[in-house]
Structure 1
Amino acid sequence: MSLDIRPITRALLSVSDKTGLVDFARKLAGHGVELVSTGGTSKALKEAGLQVRDVSEVTGFPEMMDGRVKTLHPKVHGGILAVRADAAHRAAMEEHGIGPIDLVVVNLYPFEATVARGASFDDCVENIDVGGPAMIRAAAKNHGDVTVVVDPSAYATVLAEIAAAGGTTGATRRHLARAAFARTAAYDGAIAEWFSSVEADTAPPARLFAGTLAEELRYGENPHQQASFYLSGGARPGVATARQLQGKSLSYNNLNDTDAAFEAVAEFDPARAPAVVIVKHANPCGVAEGASLVEAYRKALACDPTSAFGGIVALNRTLDAEAAKAIVEIFTEVIVAPDVTDEAAAILATKKNLRLLVTGGLPDPRGKGTFVKSLAGGLLVQSRDNAVVDDMELKVVTKRAPTDAELADLAFAFRVAKHVKSNAIVYAKDLATVGIGAGQMSRVDSARIAARKAIDAAEVAGLAEPLTRGSVVASDAFFPFADGLLTAIEAGATAVIQPGGSIRDADVIAAADAANVAMVFTGVRHFRH
């Protein structure tokens, strides 16, 4: 036998997730492996007819304190941590009657799931595993001799190596040890984050952000960059929780853009009206509400049909056949919606490369969450921008107040501006965007680009003038000078919504009054970098 192979004669199994457990244990027993187990795991194995030794039999102590104390014992940890080639370790094992444990199979109390279902503080605390992480870490540390398994997906690999070589290879043990330490790190991080949320601590002294690998992507933003997609375990509906019904794998950019599109469409209450968002390179290039999804889509597409080609389409209601027919008229990368009708799915199935995602619901735009951005040597952490225009107290600051129609369009435009890269300018008319300017260093440049986009769209549609004539305009942050506002007025805007707060607010208001333009302040800024 190669020195790299370590035989498995005794296994300790203590799992919360019992997926595949009985079959795995039965096959271990078939290879002559002695099974040692605890509590519910032992019961499940015995009920399946397997011969199992309880940990209490090995330690000489009963499980106590409602199961809190059962594996924290030298006869368990000595059997895991002993270095088999060390004579002193072997002597200590013999002196104290400690038998080796060659395989540790442990997955932890479901702390994350307990928190996710909104359990009480006491229930969450009770689901903090102590003995499990201790055994996992001990086995992972001693991976030179011990095999550790923290996920049922590894059962097949372990069984295959036992069948082929009578034990596990060093490479496999190292790989499993890495996975084990990643699991305990993520587990402790989840507990620490939960405690911080309970204590309302927005800046704890240390933070850990963890995820489970969902997919290794072909590349990142560009082909020379490596990328992977990890799941954080959050229940917020979106790309991480969606089911992909068709199409090839999503790329890094697809995932990023689809998330941006779905978060944007969630701003539009499906109980109020159907809404569609079209995104290109993480920026909305068309957004609209309509009497139906197909009407909303066509209004959104009209804003910038050139940019919409190869874009992402997000809908706030179940995708129906009429909307599906319209969407497939041009090349679309991804469609994401809460659900899809069978008829619509059949229509989309004719486009094999089109990805279709269904999420089962919309994310709450008011929901809490955390955004993390890496910097050289550090992390920037902030809470989600969950400010919603419907909750804001709009202050009319001009002589003329907006009409009801203008007010509806202003709220619409500000919802969109929240999801456009700063500096953001959004023109809207009849609950549809008609010009979007994004990501410029100067706000006046964003206003000019959005107006130019409206002119281009009018030419495509064969209109005599751009739809910015008689539109409203939203700015994600205040106008530092009147020039950006004057550009919007020149484009045809009749009402403006902006946060306010500039030292030159008076000049901007005066310019609006001079043009008989209504203006409201939100008091809330929506920078998005």
Structure 2
Amino acid sequence: MSDLKKMYRQINSDSFPGKMEIAFEEDGERQVLYYEKTSWEIDGERKGLRYGENPDQPAALYRPVNGNLHLGEVETLEPGNYLASDAELLQSGKHPGKINITDIDAALNILRYLHSRPAAVIIKHNNPSGAAVGSDLYNAYHKAFQADRLAAFGGAVAVNRPLDKETAEYMVSSYIEVLAAPDFENGVMEILARRKNLRVMRIRNISRLESFVGKKVLDFSSLMDGGLILQYQFEPAILSPEQFLPAESEYKGESYRVTTEPTRAQLEDMLFGWLVEAGITSNSVIYVKDGATVGIGTGEQDRVGVAEIARDKAYRKYADRLSWELFNTPFNLLQDSHKEAEVMKRTRELRGNLEGSIMVSDAFFPFRDGVDVGLKEKIGGIVQPGGSLRDFESIQACNEAGIPMVFTGQRSFKH
């Protein structure tokens, strides 16, 4: 078994060139994007990515170095505004691999919409295990971590404020793989050094992430035969509570509209949830409450199923959180029937912390059965794109329960 472990420590040599060009040409007009390979000097040796998604996949990271690309009416992000493609590696631990970079990038993709408050996002396999905003960075990270303590193990963390000592102490109390912040207060790096395999990245542009909102980036997807699909990266159109659309619909000549108006606090959670949802793999449904994720369902094939998965995860994760708070022991290690019964009793009474939460869906509900999953847990409101032929069913369901629902008018699929 010791020989097998070596493959996770090795750094692959790669044959990728130091520079790369991508040219676009139409009607004699030619635009070329220039890239150079990113590398870091560690222990006197300069290397690029350790490996790709798996140890036997060589990989390389490139950063853009030339001017904007203009395609039609769209102008892409200017180079030089580097984030994960040119992170400053302050502590290397194990050399960074492809997943480390893409997970930090996924966190930043969510964080850029949460710039107005201290925020933390924990990513596992390109999806958040927890995301939260708070009164300060410690509060935000605590909420994000407690949303799913188990999945946070080995995660990639990004925060949008300089890391302070108190938050750093909290972080090193558990195992995380990668940490990115705009800066680090005095004494923080000494705390982080206790985790020798932790990769610590300073990305100064995190401090101005709001300037990346609305900027277009080309998304390249490779097909099995070497073909490419290009699209512009998704951008949520709803960036303030006032932009939500009323949940209304017509069906067979009859008009339907949700009659309960959301409170200001609910609108804030609706916006937070929708902006986090934009960074989650579809099909997805999530539940958020008080500026933090409660249950996250991702990558499912049906909307009812993913609503149920997010609900079930909320119960399991809340039970684990209670077990830790009450007995300083993960729920699956309690080994005490009375303690287990107490935790489960409280979890059921509090409905896995789902009561009063906001249910967020990245696409419309084809029927009301997906909405009903949340209503049975006494959720406080719903955000969804709208546009289903049978939106009236979801509207009726919300009116029966007396809760608000808003439409975004925009689907946020992410594959």
TM-score where L is the length of structure 1: 0.60
The residue identity in structure 2 corresponding to 1:273 is: R
Q: Tell me which amino acid in the other structure corresponds to 2:236.
A: A
- Aligned-partner Cα distance in 2 for 1:507–1:251: 47
Q: How many residues align?
A: 337
Distance in 1 (CA, whole Å) between partners of 2:123 and 2:215 is 22
Partner in structure 1 of residue 37 of structure 2: 213
Residue type of the alignment partner of 1:251: G
| Large movers: runs of 4+ above 4 Å | 204-210
In 2, Cα distance between equivalents of 1:393 and 1:524: 12
Aligned partner (choices 198, 218, 227) of residue 370 of structure 1: 218
Which protein has greater RCO, CA pairs closer than 8 Å, 6+ apart?
2
1:169 maps to what in 2? none
User: Greater Rg, structure 1 or structure 2?
Assistant: 1
Residues 288 and 357, structure 2, Cα contact 8 Å, conserved in 1: yes
Q: Distance in 2 between matches of 1:361 and 1:207?
A: 27
- For residues 408-449 of structure 1, give each alpha carbon's deviation from its aligned partner in whole angstroms, at most 9, with x where no partner exists: 111111011001100111111111111111111111111111
CA, structure 1 residues 290+374, in 2 after alignment: closer, same or farther (shift >3 Å)? same
Q: Does 1:243 align with 2:94?
A: no
2:234 is aligned to 385
Check conservation: 2:237, 2:410, Cα contact below 8 A: no
Give the structure 2 partner of residue 140 of structure 1. Answer: none
Tell me how far 1:390 sits from its aligned partner.
1.6
Matched, 1:394 2:226: no
What is the 5 A alignment of 1:244-393?
244-247=89-92, 248-269=94-115, 272-362=116-206, 363=209, 364-375=212-223, 376-390=225-239, 393=243
1:446 to 303, 306, 315: 306
Segments of structure 1 that go 5 or more residues without pairing to the other structure are 1-174
Letter in 2 for 1:453: K
Which whole-Å CA distance do the structure 1 matches of 2:191 and 2:133 have between them?
A: 23
Q: CA 1:235–1:480 in 2, change beyond 3 Å: closer, same or farther?
A: farther
Cα distance, 1:389 vs structure 2: 2.5
Shift of 1:402: 0.9
Q: Please give the secondary structure, in 2, of the residue aligned with 1:455.
A: helix
**Separation of aligned partners in 1, 2:222 and 2:198:** 32
- Note the C-alpha offset of 1:208: 6.2
Of residues 364, 368, 390, the one that matches 1:504 is: 390
Q: Is the 8 A contact 1:235 1:241 kept in 2?
A: no
**Would you say the 8 A contact 1:262–1:336 is kept in 2?**
no
- Aligned pair in 2 of structure 1 residues 229, 329: CA closer, same or farther (>3 Å)? same
Deviation of 1:211 (Å): 2.6
Secondary structure, in 3 states, of the residue corresponding to 1:411? helix
Q: 1:515 to 1:205 in 2, by over 3 A?
A: farther
For the pair 1:524 / 2:410, whether they are aligned, the reply is yes
Q: Which residue of 2 aligns with 1:156?
A: none
Gaps of 5+ in 2: 1-14, 40-47, 66-78, 248-257, 323-345
SS of residue paired to 2:38: strand
* Structure that is richer in helix per residue: 1
C-alpha separation in 1, matches of 2:219 and 2:389: 30
Residue type at the aligned position of 2:234: D
- Structure 2: how far apart are the matches of 1:412 and 1:467? 17
Separation of aligned partners in 2, 1:283 and 1:253: 12
Q: What's the CA shift for 1:387?
A: 2.4
Q: Rate the CA distance shift 1:411–1:344 in 2: closer, same or farther, 3 A.
A: same
Q: Any idea what the Cα deviations from partners look like across 1:309-362, whole Å, max 9, x if unmatched?
A: 000111011111111111111100011111111222221122111111111123
**1:374 Cα offset (Å):** 1.0
- Whole-Å separation in 2 of the counterparts to 1:205 and 1:499: 39
What is aligned with 1:148?
Answer: none
